[in-house]
Structure 1
Amino acid sequence: MTYEEAVHTVDSLQRFVRRPGLERIERLLAEMGNPHKALRFVHVAGTNGKGSVSEMIAKVLERAGYRTGLFISPHVTDFCERIQVNGIPIPHGDLTELVEEYLPLIRRLEASGIQVTEFEWITALGFEWFRRQDCQLVVLEVGLGGRFDATNIIDAPLVSVITSISLDHTAVLGDSIEQIAFEKSGIMKQGGICVCYPDQPRAALNMLKITAEVMKNRFVIAGLNDLMLVEASIDGTQLLWKNGIPVRVAMAGEHQMKNAATALSVIEELRGLGWQISDRAVQEGIAAARLPARLEVLSRSPVVLLDGAHNPDGIRVLARAVKKQVTHKRIVGLTGMMRDKDVDSAVRELDGIFSSVVTVAPNGPRALPAEELAQYWEKRRIPAQPAANVEEGLRLALVKAGGEPLLICGSLYLAGDIRPLVFQELERKKTKEN
């Protein structure tokens, strides 16, 4: 089996099931010897910011000398990004061997009527890799929701974390903030510690507090009072932490200050549990935390920015950051979205950002056709031109930008498709000019 065949095999499993629950992942892990039982976790749920907060926590733990696992989803450019140890994704060959080893088990369970989902298998493979790698602590990002998410099979984590909550995946999680907060609060375990993002909607915060009380959790709202903003730009954010300790967040946007506050509160809780984490490890870890497609600067000449925000709240945060930190009057947009997202709200949030837009359809059956997306922009009187594919869209957008900033956004799937193409196209243009 090749690596590509291994990834295809995992992807071929069904994505969702009619009846959510943890019975399938429980049976699968039991057959694998319960690798998750050998691990300790920080468990991270939320609508937006899960990846950034998880990355910050993991990097700080790495710098503190701990062998640290990181489980995130989805990936942007390579499937193996989902399962990392000390910042290194599981090698292609090792993932392939794990898939080959456990594929007979998956087929045996299917034959007995247990349909393991794609994410459940990925989660189980992650647990097994972290066990084999002797990870001392795993930062575990929830895939969807929390209560019935496959990652919630774990026993009580050292710390549960709830990042920013807003409306997304409403068909699965519910169409109100209270319902979504209830689903995400399901990662709290009896007698645990829960750290909460500092700027939650009131309805979400009330639900989280109720769950924390029922589960007898110590509920900690991450404090912004411990942080002071010094400087913010597309190059990142400079902060002072506690008693004047300088901390630099490499990822741009004022929301990253709130994500950093959440991560730092988690670190403080781990310190209280006896984990040895120095201030220097905190400084180095937060500065080293980077994720692709989080207002990522792909190029400076011309300026090309990439962001994977795909729900109204995430795009609202993106728009605010761009307005504050990109001072050019003229910005060209390259956008692509999935049809099951709130496209109208997303476009409305970006109103006033772009002088013109090129639309594309990301790869995949859920993609909104470029022509339909262009109509959303035209309704807001923003000139929009649909492109036949992502490659054509990128070339067209770079021409339209003509040296002015280009912002690519709307979907992590689009980010994954286009990120390597941007580097290739800019290198091609540079070679041609020379």
Structure 2
Amino acid sequence: MGAAETYRQITSKMGGAWRVRPDEHGNRVGMLQEILRWMGNPERQLKVIHIVGTNGKGSTGVMLASILETAGYQVGHFSTPAILNDREVITTNGEMISEEAFVKSYQHVLEEIKAHGGDEDTLTKFEWWTLIALDHFARTEMDFVILEAGVGGLRDATNVVDNPLVVAFTKISYDHIGLLGNDLLEIAADKAGAIKAGATIVNYPGQDIEVYRLLKEKAIAVGAKWNTHPKPAITIVKSSPRGLELNADQFEGLKLSLTGAYQANNLSTVLQIVTALKERGYTIEDVAVAEALAHVKIKGRMEFDEKRNILFDGAHNPDGIISLVAAIRSWHLPFKPVVVLGLLQGKQYHDMLEELLPHVDTVIAVTPDSDRAMSADELAAKIVMMSNVDVEIADDPSAAITLARRVRESSEALIVVTGSFYTLRAIETEEM
């Protein structure tokens, strides 16, 4: 049996959803740590930068990975969800894990689970991929590992790492209400569970003040080191769908090939992490930072296809849509964009639509590639009830872009594909 066939068989058993287990299953991090102990604690060999938050984890992780790779380090990166191929979740120096390497690490994890009375169903998909990533990164002897939390912090599978070098918090906002908590501070308290003794704690510059205080108090309580360096002074010189030009402390005219003004705050978080690593003795030259940022790309996050005038952005909650709308408004486009939109059930759709609809010309409703998808028909009905925006329904993902091109006011009008990473997966898989 070839590795490719084995890989397909393994992943088909895991299912497609990256969901964590619901609350009634309790905190499973201790169980995962026990499995890692059986495996010889591969995570203890790694210098981990744990990125936790609601929005901006992917942007922060990719920018940091690009900088560290350009500086000459070997970098492992774990980030969910995938867009086109699940193996995108685990990368080393930008290359996704091979099917052979995946199978090898999977079998190593499964061997230990079976030796202690478990089986393939012991772990969820997200838990499987987390342990496989840690095993793979240890095997490939990465200099750094960037580990992005999935949901929350305390009970998230990535919280198995008990000795992170840095814990960086991106913007914490309302998401997974009920699962993580019923208000912002309860959600932040769950995410603060990732703070560990000895780690340097880096905080997003636009954090809610009460969240900031909670994180700092937790850091002091557990013996972590709160980053006391001044946050970089960042000003945006120019913004367009192609990216940003910024001034950031010693970086004058810095080019960032990611778009959206909110990326300035994510960049601040990244530069703080770089400072924390330098303080620990690692060499990261300014020229490596500038070179990396000028060429960094993120699949599905404010990703601009200039040739087709299409922007792909997996804005999956109200904060994400607010940032997307702010970017669109700052560009002073000649025409309102046509939006290809797909949402998941229970994702605060009303707030997202209320923010988005005044700034678009037409919405093409699609059904995301997820078992939690809101159907295109249901989404279209909700939009009709809320606004006078023109709504079309794409019968299948392959028709969405074609329909968007046909209904837009001008070929110069931007097409935006958004609402969920699963929407992007549905569209881009069909377009390949």
Cα deviation code 1:186-244 (max 9, x no counterpart): 11112431000000122322221221221233323785553232221111111223234
After superposition, residues 322-341 of structure 1 pair within 5 angstroms as 322-325=328-331, 327-341=333-347
Shift of 1:94: 2.0
After superposition, residues 18-417 of structure 1 pair within 5 angstroms as 18-107=25-114, 111=118, 115-220=122-227, 225-301=232-308, 303-325=309-331, 327-378=333-384, 379-401=386-408, 403=411, 404-417=413-426
CA contact (8 A) 1:246 1:283 kept: no
| Match in the other structure for 2:12 | 8
Q: How many residues align?
A: 422
Distance, in Å, in 1 between the alignment partners of 2:332 and 2:7 is 40
* Cα distance, 1:315–1:182 mapped onto 2, change above 3 Å: same
Shift of 1:398: 2.1
| Match in the other structure for 1:430 | none
Shift of 1:105: 4.2
Shift of 1:181: 0.8
Cα deviation code 1:119-157 (max 9, x no counterpart): 111111001111111111111111110111111111221
Instruction: Letter of the 1:16 partner, please give it.
Output: R
Greater shift in the superposed pair: 127-136 or 228-237: 228-237
Distance, in Å, in 1 between the alignment partners of 2:120 and 2:374 is 34
Q: Mind listing any 5+ residue stretches in structure 1 that lack a counterpart?
A: 425-434
CA contact (8 A) 2:236 2:261 kept: no
Shift of 1:297: 1.1
Greater shift in the superposed pair: 89-98 or 148-157: 89-98
* Cα distance, 1:222–1:384 mapped onto 2, change above 3 Å: farther
Counterpart secondary structure, 2:274: helix
Distance, in Å, in 2 between the alignment partners of 1:11 and 1:120 is 13
* Cα distance, 1:113–1:384 mapped onto 2, change above 3 Å: closer
* Cα distance, 1:112–1:386 mapped onto 2, change above 3 Å: closer
Instruction: Letter of the 1:182 partner, please give it.
Output: A
Cα deviation code 1:285-315 (max 9, x no counterpart): 22232211111112434x1111101100111
Counterpart secondary structure, 1:173: coil
* Cα distance, 1:108–1:364 mapped onto 2, change above 3 Å: farther
Greater shift in the superposed pair: 392-401 or 358-367: 392-401
Cα deviation code 1:57-94 (max 9, x no counterpart): 11111111111111111111111111111111111232
Instruction: Letter of the 2:193 partner, please give it.
Output: G
Cα RMSD (Å): 2.2
Q: Mind listing any 5+ residue stretches in structure 2 that lack a counterpart?
A: none
Shift of 1:10: 3.3
Distance, in Å, in 2 between the alignment partners of 1:203 and 1:119 is 30
Cα deviation code 1:90-119 (max 9, x no counterpart): 112322343345445445556489832221
TM-score (norm 2): 0.92
Cα deviation code 1:8-48 (max 9, x no counterpart): 23337984152123122112212222211111111110000
* Cα distance, 1:122–1:238 mapped onto 2, change above 3 Å: same
Q: Give percent identity, aligned residues only.
A: 30
Distance, in Å, in 1 between the alignment partners of 2:120 and 2:358 is 52
* Cα distance, 1:216–1:103 mapped onto 2, change above 3 Å: closer
Distance, in Å, in 2 between the alignment partners of 1:90 and 1:243 is 36
Instruction: Letter of the 1:45 partner, please give it.
Output: V
